[in-house]
Amino acid sequence: MAQIIRVLLAEDDPLAQRAVAAYLSRTRDIELVATAADGVAAVQQATRLRPDVAIVDINMPKLSGIEVTRRITVEPVDSKVVCFTALGDDLTLSRALAAGASGFLLKTDSPGLIQHGIRAAFNGDALVSPQLVTGLLRAHLQVHSEPPPDLSPADLRLLGLLGQGLSNAEIGEKMFLATSTVKSYVSRLLTRLDLRNRTALAARAHEWGLVHEG
């Protein structure tokens, strides 16, 4: 039986809160354990319940979603966070990743994608809304920076695949590596590049022009 993923929903809009709660009620492996209508309540609920994953609206009263993310992704709470917003932009995405978010979704994304984002965060993977990624890539196609020269061809290949949103197992299949080996390489790259999570690695891969679909 699949492990139940305990989720906190921090969302101040009652309609959005009810809609997401309805999405999650249709799944067998995701349990909504609490809701919060402002940032302070979100931190309090996360500290009390220590959910596996928190869906956090970026724009909330009393305390911003960015600050909520910063506070609950570290000990003693150490929850994974999927940021949730009506309008995404480059700066907000960057701030969310820097705060420790494991995913970034738009409120216009499908219920299935929201569920997938929760599962990805729980499993140590990451998911950014395809709508947002497409827009950011279109805006930045001509402004790639260069990766550090000490990264090996294998490192660059792995980063490119990670930037496509592939899981460790999928990357392993393409690179003929064990999943555990891929996980070790990802951890090493996080340390070497001083990044917090896979989402930040994926963003860096796009920045360096390493992502080639197909």
Span 158-175, mean pLDDT?
A: 89
Are 108 and 35 within one domain? yes
User: pLDDT of 137-148, one tens digit each?
Assistant: 554 444 456 888
Q: Report if residue 32 sits inside a domain.
A: yes
Give residue for tokens 């906190």: 8
Are 160 and 118 within one domain? no
Q: Which of 111, 137, 163 is the last residue of a domain?
A: 137
Say how many domains are in the chain.
2
Share of the chain above pLDDT 90, in %: 49
Are 161 and 184 within one domain? yes
> Which tokens in the block code for residue 71?
């506070």
> Which tokens in the block code for residue 97?
């990743």
Span 25-39, mean pLDDT?
A: 93
> Is it the case that residue 16 has pLDDT exceeding 50?
yes
Are 36 and 68 within one domain? yes
Span 63-87, mean pLDDT?
A: 90
Q: Are strands 5-10 and 53-57 parallel, antiparallel or unpaired?
A: parallel
Q: Which of 110, 137, 164 is the last residue of a domain?
A: 137
Give me the pLDDT at residue 135, please.
57
Give me the pLDDT at residue 142, please.
46
Span 78-85, mean pLDDT?
A: 92
Q: Report if residue 213 sits inside a domain.
A: no
Q: What is the 3-state secondary structure (H, E, C) of the chain?
A: CCCCEEEEEECCCHHHHHHHHHHHHCCCCEEEEEEECCHHHHHHHHHHHCCCEEEEECCCCCCCHHHHHHHHCCCCCCCEEEEEECCCCHHHHHHHHHHCCCEEEECCCCHHHHHHHHHHHHCCCCEECHHHHHHHHHHHCCCCCCCCCCCCHHHHHHHHHHHCCCCHHHHHHHHCCCHHHHHHHHHHHHHHHCCCCHHHHHHHHHHCCCCCCC
User: Can you say how many angstroms the Cα of residue 3 is from the centroid of all Cα atoms in its chain?
Assistant: 20
Mean pLDDT of the chain: 87
pLDDT band of 176, cuts 50, 70, 90: very high
Q: Report if residue 214 sits inside a domain.
A: no
Q: Report if residue 21 sits inside a domain.
A: yes
Are 60 and 114 within one domain? yes
Q: Report if residue 151 sits inside a domain.
A: yes
Are 109 and 159 within one domain? no
Are 84 and 165 within one domain? no
Q: Which of 86, 121, 137 is the last residue of a domain?
A: 137
Are 77 and 42 within one domain? yes
Are 121 and 159 within one domain? no
Q: Report if residue 212 sits inside a domain.
A: no
Structural domain that includes position 155:
144-207
